[in-house]
């Protein structure tokens, strides 16, 4: 891992260090802030020059080093396994799962500030971590929460833009429309039109990104209230944090639902740069499109059935199991239903992953939440049975590299338990979460001066001729 380096903030920061194991079992030193500096922007401003120099050094010293061989299978297989992007905020290991700036999900749960002792991590803390590579103090997280609330006002034209759509339009269509309507306030767009030096691109990008992160929960909540609660808006509560306020504006004020939303937003925020939504956001932003345009494009990728839409498919499939077989289904009956699904040419949603080769840690932390708060819920018990039944069947098929459950296999059951039963809306929750990861990396894209993305494409004829010459 190379995310953590000492930075020259001695005038403002005092650091204590804790030793954590890295992916290679070597020693990694994690800096945990204990300073009274509450301004995220100023800390980022001091970090950037060192990281710019670091990137220059990598390019000058290692620019010609090969990272691997590209095969025809990779070109035809969605570029899987092909290393081709710089993404600083997170790294996905096939066996250990996601690490946010080097921290696993269990480590984040232990180290990031929570709303209450022993509670789930606050998403604001993860945002600070992704941007600075440092674990913030509770005071710094509280200050960031306050700043995000100050940026969260939604202009009336955004609601009007959403209202122009049929109320039956898919929630992601309405959500993306709202994000696009926010674009008229883009500070980056205004600064670029006036003329701004490229070394300063990151500053209006930062302003846009924090405002976008602050505003998407309110837009998302409006879509939910418009579709399912007669359009009655619930104002933000200035006493609540980011995740708690999102639950509140949706209409859920129970403390457990607020804790679930904090966990949900945190674990769905980032999953390195190669997934469809993250890559789309990075690609569009590489053309110097502002964060609103870039994130709206990312949302359209997230809305696809093979990406974010899968979380709604899981709950719908689980409910179809209950409708046909009842809540007290045995494992043998469940095996028969799984085979029935597979033999009909469909997949069992919520299992498998493009990179992971073990059970998704995001699934496991949601399972732990369920064991703590809803161990007797029939749908949770059904999910537990699926965990035992599905992987052996997928392994028997021999066509799946990863038969284990992913993040989508569990989230719908938790949301359903607390009353958010509208599965069609679930991808919007995913989208709100992704704003934190995509926008954090976008700020660093601009700070590091990353170029326009332009890979080479080829035709089948070119592949045939090239392979014949190489034979």
- As annotated, the active-site residues are 307, 353, 408
Q: Which residues of 87-126 are buried (b: 16+ CB within 10 A; e: fewer)?
A: bbbbbbbeeebbbbbbbbbebbbebbbbbeeeebbbbbbb
* Residue tagged 């998403």 (tokens): 123
Contacts of 176 (CB under 8 A, 6+ apart): 296, 299, 300, 303
Which of 103, 87, 6 shows the shortest CA–CA distance to 47?
6
Tokens of 280: 């789309």
Contacts of 157 (CB under 8 A, 6+ apart): 181, 184
Q: What are phi and psi of 16, to 5 degrees?
A: -115, 150
Strand partners, 35: none
- Which sign, positive or negative, has the C-alpha torsion 311, 161, 236, 143? positive
Q: What are phi and psi of 152, to 5 degrees?
A: -90, 0
From residue 389, alpha-carbon distances to 164, 331, 368, 462 in Å are 46, 7, 19, 45
Sheet holding 97-100, edge to edge: 90-93, 97-100, 103-104
How much of the chain is in helix, strand and coil states, percent to nearest 5?
60, 5, 35
**What is the rounded CA–CA span in Å between residue 174 and residue 86?**
31
> Could you report how far apart the first and last alpha carbons of the chain are, in Å?
38
* Residue tagged 């301004």 (tokens): 39
Which of 252, 360, 357 shows the shortest CA–CA distance to 310?
360
Instruction: Count CB neighbours of 193 within 10 A.
Output: 9
* Phi and psi based region of residue 356 (left: phi greater than 0; alpha: psi -120 to 50; beta: remaining): beta
Instruction: Count CB neighbours of 183 within 10 A.
Output: 19
Instruction: Count CB neighbours of 163 within 10 A.
Output: 13
Tokens of 119: 């509670």
Strand partners, 209: none
**What is the rounded CA–CA span in Å between residue 202 and residue 253?**
37
E strands, 132-256, are: none
Tokens of 148: 């995000």
E strands, 170-245, are: none
């Amino acid at each position: 891992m190379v995310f953590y380096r000492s930075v020259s903030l001695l005038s403002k920061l005092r650091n204590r260090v804790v030793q954590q194991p890295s992916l290679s079992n070597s020693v990694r030193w994690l800096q945990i802030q204990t300073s009274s500096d509450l301004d995220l922007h100023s800390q980022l401003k001091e970090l950037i020059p060192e990281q710019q120099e670091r990137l220059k050094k990598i390019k000058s010293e290692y620019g010609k080093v090969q990272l691997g061989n590209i095969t025809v299978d990779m070109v035809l297989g969605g570029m899987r396994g092909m290393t081709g992007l710089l993404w600083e905020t997170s790294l996905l290991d096939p066996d250990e799962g996601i690490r946010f700036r080097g921290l696993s999900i269990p480590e984040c749960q232990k180290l990031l500030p929570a709303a209450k002792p022993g509670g789930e991590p606050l998403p604001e803390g993860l945002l600070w971590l992704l941007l600075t590579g440092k674990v913030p103090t509770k005071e710094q997280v509280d200050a960031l929460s306050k700043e995000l609330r100050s940026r969260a006002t939604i202009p009336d034209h955004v609601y009007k833009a959403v209202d122009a759509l049929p109320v039956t339009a898919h929630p992601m269509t309405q959500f993306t429309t709202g994000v696009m309507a926010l674009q008229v306030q883009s500070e980056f767009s205004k600064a670029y039109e006036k003329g701004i030096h490229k070394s300063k691109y990151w500053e209006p990008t930062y302003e846009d990104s924090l405002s976008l992160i602050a505003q998407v929960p309110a837009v998302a909540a409006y879509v939910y209230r418009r579709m399912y609660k007669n359009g009655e808006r619930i104002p933000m509560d200035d006493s609540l944090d980011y995740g708690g306020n999102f639950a509140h504006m949706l209409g859920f004020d129970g403390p457990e639902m607020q804790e679930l939303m904090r966990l949900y937003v945190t674990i769905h925020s980032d999953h390195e740069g190669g997934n469809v939504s993250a890559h789309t956001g990075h690609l569009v932003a590489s053309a110097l499109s502002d964060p609103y345009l870039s994130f709206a494009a990312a949302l359209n990728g997230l809305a696809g059935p093979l990406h974010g839409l899968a979380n709604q498919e899981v709950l719908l499939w689980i409910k179809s199991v209950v409708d046909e077989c009842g809540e007290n289904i045995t494992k043998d009956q469940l095996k028969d239903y799984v085979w029935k699904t597979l033999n009909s040419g469909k997949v069992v949603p919520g299992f498998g992953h493009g990179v992971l080769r073990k059970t998704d840690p995001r699934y496991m932390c949601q399972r732990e939440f369920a064991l703590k708060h809803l161990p007797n819920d029939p749908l949770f018990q059904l999910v537990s049975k699926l965990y035992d039944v599905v992987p052996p069947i997928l392994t028997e098929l021999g066509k799946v590299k990863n038969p284990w459950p992913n993040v989508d296999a569990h989230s719908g059951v938790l949301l359903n338990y607390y009353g958010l039963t509208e599965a069609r809306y679930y991808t919007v929750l995913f989208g709100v979460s992704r704003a934190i990861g995509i926008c954090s990396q976008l700020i660093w894209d601009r700070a590091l001066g990353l170029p326009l993305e332009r890979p080479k494409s080829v035709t089948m004829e070119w592949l045939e001729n090239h392979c014949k010459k190489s034979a």
